Amino acid sequence: MVSKKVTLTNKTGLHARPASNLVAFVKKFQSTVTIINGEKKANAASIINVLTLGAKQGTELEIVADGADEAVAVEEIAKYIADLKE
């Protein structure tokens, strides 16, 4: 299991469109990916779960991956979230 923290800088937060794009991005990995916002945990492959995080600009999220490509998954997903512009 590998984890990394990343701050969401996207002005609109993780609302429907960026969350949907994130879920599609996460599905390319074999590992099980969880995103944590404080006490809330979400399966990153589920749009409904990701939306329940209520992540807004400035929120620190923890990306946790467990599986065959966990190290690559965590790095790429953290970079993806950090680079969100929408």
Active site residues: 15
Q: Please, which residues have CB within 8 angstroms of residue 10's CB and are 6 or more apart in sequence?
A: 18, 57, 84, 85, 86
* Angle 39-37-72 from CA coordinates, rounded to 5°: 125
Q: Token digits for 76?
A: 């790429």
